[in-house]
């Protein structure tokens, strides 16, 4: 076991303001960049950006472009995709774009991947969501091949055709940036472990469920004769600073709106596809946050993070829907020191 102490990062993204449809309205791209700069100053280790399309409330769509921008205003903090939805993209273009991002960030990029779970996004791109798994598998093989080949090569299948290509630039991190996979089911967690991918766990599941999934991932990794590194599991948690009942109610109101909006966007998903969509199972948003988010005053946050620590978690990603610098500052001063050098 390689970890000593815990790491804390960010999860989330800015939002272009479109009417009053979104829970994260008012966080511009530049403001979110300033938020990441502040996090870097405070000692946060990473910032992860999601990718979504056609939501109606301005979630970031061109996440790699944004990460390039964030790399130019930071110098140490790692920058990750959580996740890049592979079936929506040309794999060779992705290989080139990530190579560029890894170069301009001086090797600070983490490549988190997924299959996608919102059917409206597949429909928007004219892609059959039932093909997501096969597209994902083929595209990932092509991306990794593109980074490993030193000579020109060609490829043709029913889906893709590439002729006499050579990928430039190559990533700084060799043979490629760290690979992470968003996973929730036992099958997807097992595949991530078998393929050597880090594990990204969602922000909805409870502390007990996190413990079960960390335990299973570790068992699979060690069964393969590999050393388990708890830093290679990133656990996203809602981050809701609240020093009194009024602030707590306000934090829940914002987060409940977020969960409810995502549920609506996911409501028409194809059940036969089997893609992990835990949001669709939520009945009581406030109860979910009380059972799994980092919510409350500093002492409450310490107690909740201790639960994660006891589950084997060493890498926590905080999702603050308000992107509050004051929230980060309070956390860095009063909570982080309790865990950074914890044995």
Burial 86-124 (b: 16+ CB within 10 A, else e): bbbbebbebbbbbbbbbbbbeebbbbbbbbbbbbbbbee
How far apart CA 102 and CA 96 sit, in angstroms, is 10
Q: Is residue 94 assigned to a domain?
A: yes
Domain residues for 24?
7-338
How many domains is the chain built from?
A: 1
Please, which residues bridge with residue 241 across strands?
A: 296
In a domain, 122, yes or no: yes
Rounded to two decimals, what is the model's pTM?
Answer: 0.93
* Backbone phi and psi for residue 216, each to the nearest 5 degrees, phi listed first: -65, -45
Cα gap 21→59, rounded to integer Å: 11
With respect to residue 190, please indicate whether it lies within any of the assigned structural domains.
yes
Residue 261 in domain? yes
Contacts of residue 67, defined as CB under 8 A and 6 or more positions apart, other chains included, come to: 49, 79, 81, 101, 105, 109
Q: For residue 343, is it within any domain?
A: no
**Residue 1 is assigned to a structural domain of this protein:** no
Q: Which two tokens stand for residue 176?
A: 């490629």
Residuewise pLDDT in 10s, the chain (343 residues): 445 689 999 999 998 765 444 444 568 899 999 999 999 999 999 999 999 999 887 888 999 999 999 999 999 999 999 999 999 999 999 999 999 999 999 999 999 999 998 898 999 999 999 999 999 999 999 999 999 999 999 999 999 999 999 999 999 999 999 999 999 899 999 999 999 999 999 998 899 999 999 999 999 999 999 999 999 999 999 999 999 999 999 999 888 888 887 777 777 665 544 445 555 565 678 888 888 899 999 999 999 999 999 999 999 999 999 999 999 999 999 999 999 887 6
Alpha-carbon span 181 to 39, nearest angstrom: 24
Given a contact cutoff of 8 angstroms between Cβ atoms, the answer to whether 230 and 205 are in contact is: no
Q: Among residues 84, 78, 83, 82, which one has the least CA distance to residue 105?
A: 78
CATH number at residue 197: 3.20.20.30
Exposed / middle / buried, residue 260 (Cβ in 10 Å: 0-12, 13-18, 19+): middle
Residue 273 lies in a domain: yes
Contact by Cβ (8 Å): 179, 232: no
Q: 39 with 325: CB under 8 angstroms?
A: no
**Residues near 264 by beta carbon (within 8 Å), at least 6 away in sequence:** none
- Per the domain annotation, does 2 fall within a domain? no
């Amino acid at each position: 076991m390689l970890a000593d102490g815990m790491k804390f990062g960010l999860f989330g993204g800015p939002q272009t303001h479109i009417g009053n449809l979104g829970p994260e309205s008012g966080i511009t791209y530049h403001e979110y960049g300033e938020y990441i700069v502040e996090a870097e100053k405070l000692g946060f280790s990473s910032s992860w950006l999601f990718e979504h399309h056609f939501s109606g409330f301005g979630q970031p769509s061109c996440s790699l472009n944004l990460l390039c921008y964030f790399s130019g205003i930071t110098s140490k903090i790692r920058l990750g995709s959580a996740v890049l939805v592979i079936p929506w993209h040309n794999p060779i273009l992705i290989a080139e774009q990530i190579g560029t991002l890894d170069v301009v960030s001086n090797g600070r990029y983490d490549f988190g991947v997924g299959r996608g779970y919102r059917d409206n996004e597949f429909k928007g791109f004219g892609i059959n969501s039932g093909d997501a798994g096969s597209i994902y598998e083929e595209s990932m093989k092509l991306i990794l091949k593109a980074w490993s080949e030193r000579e020109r090569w060609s490829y043709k299948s029913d889906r893709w055709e590439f002729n006499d290509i050579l990928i430039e630039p190559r990533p700084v991190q060799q043979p490629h940036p760290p690979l992470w996979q968003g996973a929730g089911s036992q099958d997807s967690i097992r595949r991530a472990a078998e393929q050597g991918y880090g594990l990204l766990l969602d922000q909805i599941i409870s502390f007990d469920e996190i413990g079960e999934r960390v335990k299973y991932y570790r068992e699979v990794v060690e069964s393969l004769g590999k050393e388990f590194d708890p830093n290679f599991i990133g656990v996203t948690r809602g981050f809701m600073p609240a020093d009194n009942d009024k602030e707590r109610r306000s934090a829940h109101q914002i987060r409940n709106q977020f969960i409810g909006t995502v549920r609506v966007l996911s409501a028409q998903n194809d059940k036969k596809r089997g893609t992990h969509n835990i949001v669709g199972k939520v009945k009581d948003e406030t109860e979910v946050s009380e059972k799994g988010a980092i919510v409350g005053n500093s002492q409450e946050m310490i107690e909740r993070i201790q639960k994660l620590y006891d589950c084997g978690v060493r890498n926590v990603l905080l999702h603050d829907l308000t992107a509050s610098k004051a929230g980060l500052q309070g956390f860095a001063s009063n909570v982080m020191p309790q865990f950074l050098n914890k044995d």
